[in-house]
Amino acid sequence: MKKIELLGLQTVPEIHPGDNLAEIIFKAAADEIGGLRDQDVVVITSKIVSKAEGRLRKVDEVVPGKRALAIAGKTGKDPKWVQMILDEKHEILAIIPLKGIIAEHVFGAAADSPATKQLLTRKPALCITKDSSGRIHTCEAGIDSSNHPAGTVSLLPGEPDEAALDIRQQLRVLSGKEVAVILADTEMIPFGTMDLALGSSGISPLAREFGQKDRYERPKFGGMDLVANELASASALLFGQGPTGIPVAVVRGYSYQISETENIANTLPAQGDKRGVAAAIRGTIRATACARPLGQRLLLKIASWFI
């Protein structure tokens, strides 16, 4: 029998600025699961990394600028929240109104309808952003007020891959074991939320098995599995989204490709190649057009000329 285990560390205390996460995780693992083992994967919620780094802000201290006020005026968003996104140097790619069919879907998954209504009133739209490394963030640049005192929010870790590397190197010294580290953060996907990998160290985040032969000796169209995201999502079954109190999970028994050089940022598409991106968009538009009625095909073809 082959198995993969998910082991949630429940004795990790509330994290404060300046805390040494590696030492805390090492002790919790020793107390709860007999310590770390070679090729364990330590998956950590990005929020406790942000807390340890002191990446916290008081919303009352934020002063919105002209751009934030303009965006807030058109979308109904809190201008202080918009300003925090801009302060994080994120590019706002889109602002999605949380009303109509989206609101209906949210209410369908609500545990508390009055609280859900209050939340949607306070946050009538959601910003989709891109950070300087090219990561796309679907939840307000990762700025998060949940499980914080009122008026306090956490920002994403400054350098997620570097944070993962630092924790991994410290765990290696403390435990004498070779482990991988993944930082996980919650993102919106169609029809719900899911934890994805924000940073990583010691593991190849992307499987490189495209074209590998299947059991019938035919090359398979697939194999580019987003391994780090899959492990982050699996670990989120233990983390939960409420007051669960499990911010660290150890994945044991999974055979992964060890890498000292790959991380989340350097497996993203290259930034700055605008011609390549434009060509990809044009190709997508043209491929989509062939499945559309004549009138829509003409409009899509015209649109492709301007990209």
Same-domain check for residues 46 and 184: yes
What pLDDT, on the 0 to 100 scale, is given for residue 205?
95
- Is 120 in the same domain as 9? no
Helix or strand or coil: residue 212? coil
Which pairing describes strands 5-9 and 248-252: parallel, antiparallel, or unpaired? antiparallel
Helix axes of 101-108 and 113-122: crossing angle, nearest 10 degrees: 140
- The domain boundary, picked from 154, 176, 201, lies at 154
Question: Which of 97, 122, 154 is the last residue in one of the domains?
Answer: 154
pLDDT of 117: 76
Mark which of 154, 170, 194 sits at the end of a domain.
Answer: 154
Q: Which two tokens stand for residue 55?
A: 């990446």
CATH classification of the domain holding 23:
3.30.1330.100
The CA dihedral of 170, 135, 265, 15, to the nearest 10 degrees, is 0
pLDDT tens for the chain, residues 1 to 307: 889 999 999 999 999 999 999 999 999 999 999 999 999 999 999 999 999 999 999 999 999 999 999 999 999 999 999 999 999 999 999 898 888 777 677 777 777 778 777 777 778 888 999 998 888 899 899 999 988 898 999 999 999 999 999 999 999 999 999 999 999 999 988 888 899 999 999 999 998 877 788 788 888 787 789 999 999 999 999 997 666 679 999 999 999 999 999 999 888 766 555 556 566 666 776 777 677 776 676 666 666 665 5
What is the bridge-based pairing of β-strands 180-189 and 41-45?
parallel
pLDDT score of 142: 94
* Domain match, 67 and 21 both: no
CA atoms within 13 A on the CB side of 116: 14
Mark whether 246 and 181 lie in a shared domain.
yes
Contact 43, 235 (CB under 8 A): yes
Do residues 149 and 165 both lie within one domain?
no
**110 and 190 belong to one structural domain:** no
Which residues 6+ apart lie within 8 Å of 299 measured at CB? none
* Residues 72 and 204 grouped into a single domain: no
Domain count, the chain: 3
CA distance 68 to 50: 24
> What's the CATH number where 75 sits?
3.90.1660.10
* 131 shares its domain with 17: no
Q: Which domain holds residue 280?
A: 274-305
Question: Quick one: 104 and 170 in the same domain?
Answer: no
> Do 248 and 161 share a structural domain?
yes
* pTM exceeding 0.85: yes
Query: Are residues 127 and 185 located together in one domain of the fold?
Result: no
223 and 78, same structural domain? no
pLDDT of residue 216: 84
